[in-house]
A and B are shown apart, each in its own frame.
Chain A
Amino acid sequence: MCGLPAACRRPAPKVQCLLAQRFSAGKTPTTGDGVPLGTAHEEHPRDSPQADHVLLACLKLGSLMLSLNLTLAEPQHFSLVEKLLLVALVVASGAGFWLRFGTVLDKILHSKKDAGFHLFPIGKRIWDFVWEVLFQAKVIRQRPLAGLAHALVFWGFCAFVLVTLNHFATGLGIGFLDPSGWFGRFYFDLAAAFALACATGILGLFVRRFIVRPKWLGEKLSYQSGIIAFLIFLLMATYLASFFVADTDPAARILWWVHTLALLTFLPIIPHTKHLHLVLSPATVFLSRGGFSQIPPLVGDEDFGLVAGTDLTQLVSLQAYSCVECGRCTEHCPAANTGKLLNPKEIILGLRGYLNDLSPAAEQPLLGKYNSQEAVFQCTTCGACEFQCPVGIEHLPILVGLRRGAVNTGAWENDYGAKLFLALEHGSNSLGLPSSDRDKFIAKAGLPLFDGTQEYCLWLGCMGGYDPKGREIIADFARVMNYLGASYGVLRKEKCTGDPVRRLGNDLLFQQLAEENLRSLAENKVKKIVTICPHCVRTIQEDWKEYGTPPPVEHHSEFLARFAHKLPSRAVGHSSEGAGGFNPRRSPAAQKGALAPETTSSIAANVPAHSLASNVSGHDFSRADKAANISGPLGPAGNVTSPEKIVFHDPCYLGRYRNVYDEPRAVVALAGELVEAPRNHERSFCCGAGGGLAFLGEETGERVSHVRAAELVATGATTVATACPFCNSMFRDALAESGDGAPQLMDIAQLTARGLPKVDAS
């Protein structure tokens, strides 16, 4: 590129002769065409552009080619034999494509209709299509280098649609783009720029797949990908080369035919390989279920979820055939990354294998030969897979669907699962504790009861009502609500929202819990719900819709962020209002003291701290209660002159499920300096509790919570902030193993309560 000015001054004999030919052929009888010819040259840039300059280079090249007037060479006359051969090859190639594609389409269309699927509102679909397919935004954003390379190939293909149509038309003598007409020249030159970008892209992808070899692409090298890469490269190379030969040159004819053959070879390969995504994934993205982790309703008396082929819906089949095997799902999966059997990519490919070998009418079970039940029940439903998937596969409805199939028919036998289900069949909470425990907590914490007049119903949830640390969070959040003068109350009776049973696929129990809760909320005339648990938020707001109209619900991070201006920030709270004993030589954490409820909560302060913490049952959740004292003066935050470093862990059900990222951060920022974990926001790594897994006993392989906790500790933060009582519970255990140097663990409500002026308990 840098040699341009000199090159521009050089004569360009080839282009002149091309022009002469065209005039003689009488194809472009315009006279003004020759004017800028003197500046043309035949050299293409020798330097291969740097990856980060690819786009810029393409644009430059495009304008360069335009200004240089390089023209595409096309053989102008084809003999009858050539034409017949072309037709025969096109038909053969088309047949090769259809033979397989028709079968695939048939399997998709003969799958069961999707219940509850609505094309409208269509606006979001169109936006997703433009953003994810046309702009390739998700592909690029989540894996920038490979994503850009892919986007270049994709955009190249888009630009080539017109070129390719004209290519075949020319072969039949009905070419509609004139390479020397103004539009033709402009378009072919533009396509050349795209071709160069595409060739660069595919080369990059080739290098990545065959030389760099990231592990999520699978251990086996895909020779199909090699062939495809070669064909794409050949297509682009032959196209570009055509700019440097004359129409009459036999080389032009050879290039034309090589290009043709490459195209016709490429076409039938598409449906036989994962490159089927070229055709299917635009449809898959457009035809999404319309929401994240949208679990479809069961219809009729014989629908128990995904049990056999007959339960596969059109969307599931379409998605199974759309998988491009890129492995992004696996790369981000907490189960796959901690040595478990589950690999989300293999789940999708398992379904594809089922459809390939059998059919959507088959009665054979989906779990067994094609997919493993054990793997399906290792999913934390964190949704990283579904979020990452560039071709629009919705893993969660599939994974939960397979679980539904196993649980609703009783095929899933698991002692822990059965214990959870039995606890909820007649009990009120997933922890299996008597509901009187919750009554006692409410009385001791002095929480006001909801009587229909208050603005908010404070939903405790199982963790907030029964788990010792969850209760501390509730007590502290209540203290903040009191400080803000919010009008709220808690329900006399509450049942589990059904989150764990929903994710584990127990529809009987979920329906029962959703209906009972909806009835109780209506009876109590609840208008707004606020809760500390993102799982409750999600389940109430989205999943209950199947059985009624839940009142609006928000997470406490949203509530706190809305009132952030009324809350003391670190600077204000501690300097101006800290007269009640704030010692600047001690960290806020140390100030807080070892017994969290006693000193942080005015509500809890009425009660001896041990009574709050001693409602400990035999349940697993309390086993690390001792570790709650991590939030004591042992933390490394002892000597504070700079603000406390707080790392915030995005809960899956708040982030990916609800798209709430900024609010909890705003709340954390009030308390100290926010630092980010390496994986944050929508790439946050699960704590391991979701999908009912908190109740299913010990994991195989590494513990997800430990992997994440280590990552949080490595940020050097002195405090780990959570916004979900389940995350909190998981990290409580994991951080306990980090010894004395472990950061303290606090919910954002506790961080906020800590900054409040002290209230005299008497």
Chain B
Amino acid sequence: MKIIVAIKQVPERDAQVRIDAAGKWIEEAGLQWALNESDAYALEEALQLKEKHGGEVVVLSAGPERVGSTIREALAKGADRAIQIDCANLGNRDALSVAKLLAAAVKPENPDLVLTGLQSDDLGLGQTGVILAELLSLPHASLILHVEKTETGLTVKREWEEGWFQTVEMPTPAVLTIQSGGNKLRYATLMGIKRAKTKEVRQVTAAELAVDSAQAVVLERVALPTKQKSTQILPGTAKEAAAALVEKLKFEARVL
């Protein structure tokens, strides 16, 4: 089974982001970068499928030189080789132009399965994987927690809201966008990093892929969310306060 996992490098979770001078994107200098979380789960799913059924896992990532570190990390965790699409920052690119780049790189590989994260932690558009499927003319399913290979194709488990799941049978090749939390992630190992050194990372440029990556959408402005704190102190005895709290959790926060 040949699986391609499209991954994205995003600012580290702990990163203190600042808006750049133009107000169009974040200040990148001094930022630490990491693998997008749901992409990490997509990679994990791919590695587990490979461990069960054999085959090859190829990671694919678009971005500037810095994405190399994230690609190494994926190789260290067990991917067999990588393709890096050399292009400027993805931040202000729209999902369509990125998906076009990815599709052009995926096509000649003829994979059995393309996995990618549900959405990116930075832009959070959640469209790239779905558009990629469309461009490749492949069936797709989103919000996937678990993938099982069957005689004829795949059985996938989708996560719905409020604890509902849906099981779907589908043919291969296919594109799936993976939801975080379906598996337990593996940790990077020294052996993995050392082995990754010898693994192939193929660099391609947007020009070589011959893709018209004109943007359909242009990012106008980015801003930090305004801070608002609305702590409420519930008055009364513990009993009354508890009752009031339950009310609020039920009807205001709607978490119960």
Residues of A within 8 A of B (CB): 298, 301-302, 304, 407-410, 415, 417-418, 421-422, 425-428, 434-436, 506-509
Residues of A within 8 A of B185 (CB): 418, 422
A301 contacts which of B14, B186, B192, B194 (Cβ < 8 Å)? B194
Q: A427-B14, A434-B14, A436-B16 are in contact. Are A415 and B184 (CB under 8 A)?
A: yes
- B197 nearest in chain A by CB position: A301
Known interface pairs A298-B190, A422-B187, A426-B32; 7 further A-B residue pairs with C-beta atoms within 8 A, sorted by A's residue number: A407-B189, A408-B189, A410-B187, A410-B192, A427-B13, A427-B14, A508-B189
Residues of A within 8 A of B193 (CB): 508
A426 contacts which of B16, B34, B191, B197 (Cβ < 8 Å)? B34
Q: A304-B191, A426-B32 are in contact. Are A436 and B14 (CB under 8 A)?
A: yes
What is the bound-complex CA distance between A301 and B32, given in angstroms? 27
Q: Which 4 A-B pairs have the closest CB atoms?
A: A421-B187, A408-B190, A508-B190, A410-B189
Residues of A within 8 A of B16 (CB): 436
Q: A297 → chain B, closest Cβ, in Å?
A: 12
Q: Is the CB of A418 within 8 A of B14?
A: no
Q: Is the CB of B187 within 8 A of A506?
A: yes
Q: Is the CB of B186 within 8 A of A410?
A: yes
- B33 nearest in chain A by CB position: A426
Q: A443 → chain B, closest Cβ, in Å?
A: 14
What is the bound-complex CA distance between A346 and B190, given in angstroms? 28
- A510 nearest in chain B by CB position: B190
B188 contacts which of A428, A434, A436, A508 (Cβ < 8 Å)? A508
Residues of A within 8 A of B13 (CB): 426-427, 434
Residues of A within 8 A of B188 (CB): 421, 425, 508-509
**What's the dominant secondary structure at chain A's contact region?**
helix
Residues of B within 8 A of A415 (CB): 184
What is the bound-complex CA distance between A27 and B195, given in angstroms? 77
Most central of B184, B188, B191, B192 by chain A CB within 10 Å: B191
Q: Is residue B112 contacting chain A, with contact meaning CB distance below 8 A? A: no
What is the bound-complex CA distance between A627 and B190, given in angstroms? 40
Q: Is the CB of A304 within 8 A of B184?
A: no
Interface flags, B63-102, vs A, CB<8A=1, else 0: 0000000000000000000000000000000000000000
Q: Is residue B12 contacting chain A, with contact meaning CB distance below 8 A? A: yes
Residues of B within 8 A of A410 (CB): 186-187, 189, 191-192
Q: A546 → chain B, closest Cβ, in Å?
A: 13
Q: Is the CB of A435 within 8 A of B14?
A: yes
Most central of B16, B186, B190 by chain A CB within 10 Å: B190
Q: B79 → chain A, closest Cβ, in Å?
A: 14
A304 contacts which of B14, B186, B190 (Cβ < 8 Å)? B190
20 contacts between A and B (CB under 8 A): A304-B190, A304-B191, A408-B189, A409-B191, A410-B186, A410-B187, A410-B189, A418-B184, A418-B185, A418-B187, A421-B188, A422-B185, A422-B187, A425-B187, A426-B32, A428-B14, A435-B14, A436-B14, A436-B16, A508-B190
What is the bound-complex CA distance between A422 and B186, given in angstroms? 8
Q: Is the CB of A426 within 8 A of B14?
A: yes
- A512 nearest in chain B by CB position: B188
What is the bound-complex CA distance between A661 and B61, given in angstroms? 55
Most central of A434, A508, A509 by chain B CB within 10 Å: A508
- Chain B residues 165-189 with CB under 8 Å of chain A are 184-189
Number of B interface residues in the complex (CB < 8 A): 18
- B14 nearest in chain A by CB position: A435
What is the bound-complex CA distance between A408 and B189, given in angstroms? 5
Q: A336 → chain B, closest Cβ, in Å?
A: 28
Residues of A within 8 A of B194 (CB): 301-302
What is the bound-complex CA distance between A417 and B193, given in angstroms? 19
Interface flags, B220-252, vs A, CB<8A=1, else 0: 000000000000000000000000000000000
Q: A511 → chain B, closest Cβ, in Å?
A: 8
Q: B36 → chain A, closest Cβ, in Å?
A: 11
What is the bound-complex CA distance between A421 and B14, given in angstroms? 16
What is the bound-complex CA distance between A302 and B193, given in angstroms? 11
Most central of A298, A302, A417, A425 by chain B CB within 10 Å: A425
What is the bound-complex CA distance between A164 and B193, given in angstroms? 59
Q: A200 → chain B, closest Cβ, in Å?
A: 54
Residues of B within 8 A of A427 (CB): 13-14
Most central of B12, B14, B193 by chain A CB within 10 Å: B14
Residues of B within 8 A of A435 (CB): 14
Residues of A within 8 A of B190 (CB): 298, 304, 408-409, 506-508
Residues of B within 8 A of A407 (CB): 189
Most central of A410, A418, A436 by chain B CB within 10 Å: A410
Residues of B within 8 A of A436 (CB): 14, 16
Q: A472 → chain B, closest Cβ, in Å?
A: 22
What is the bound-complex CA distance between A427 and B37, given in angstroms? 13
What is the bound-complex CA distance between A507 and B187, given in angstroms? 12
Q: B41 → chain A, closest Cβ, in Å?
A: 12
Residues of B within 8 A of A422 (CB): 185, 187
Interface flags, B10-32, vs A, CB<8A=1, else 0: 00111010000000000000001
Residues of B within 8 A of A428 (CB): 14
What is the bound-complex CA distance between A84 and B136, given in angstroms? 94
Residues of B within 8 A of A298 (CB): 190
- Chain B residues 31-68 with CB under 8 Å of chain A are 32, 34
Residues of B within 8 A of A304 (CB): 190-191
Residues of A within 8 A of B189 (CB): 407-410, 506, 508
Most central of A298, A426, A427, A436 by chain B CB within 10 Å: A426
Interface flags, B188-227, vs A, CB<8A=1, else 0: 1111111001000000000000000000000000000000
What is the bound-complex CA distance between A508 and B194, given in angstroms? 10
- B40 nearest in chain A by CB position: A422
What is the bound-complex CA distance between A506 and B186, given in angstroms? 13
What is the bound-complex CA distance between A301 and B191, given in angstroms? 8
Q: Is the CB of B186 within 8 A of A418?
A: yes
Q: A419 → chain B, closest Cβ, in Å?
A: 9
Q: B29 → chain A, closest Cβ, in Å?
A: 15
Q: B203 → chain A, closest Cβ, in Å?
A: 24
What is the bound-complex CA distance between A408 and B192, given in angstroms? 8
Q: Is the CB of A426 within 8 A of B12?
A: yes
Q: B35 → chain A, closest Cβ, in Å?
A: 8
What is the bound-complex CA distance between A155 and B193, given in angstroms? 53
- B34 nearest in chain A by CB position: A426
What is the bound-complex CA distance between A298 and B189, given in angstroms? 14
Residues of A within 8 A of B192 (CB): 410, 508
What is the bound-complex CA distance between A302 and B192, given in angstroms? 11
What is the bound-complex CA distance between A304 and B189, given in angstroms? 10
Residues of A within 8 A of B32 (CB): 426
Q: A298 → chain B, closest Cβ, in Å?
A: 8
- A427 nearest in chain B by CB position: B14
Q: Is the CB of B34 within 8 A of A408?
A: no
- A409 nearest in chain B by CB position: B191
Q: B188 → chain A, closest Cβ, in Å?
A: 6
Q: A438 → chain B, closest Cβ, in Å?
A: 10
Q: A697 → chain B, closest Cβ, in Å?
A: 14
Q: Is the CB of B191 within 8 A of A408?
A: yes
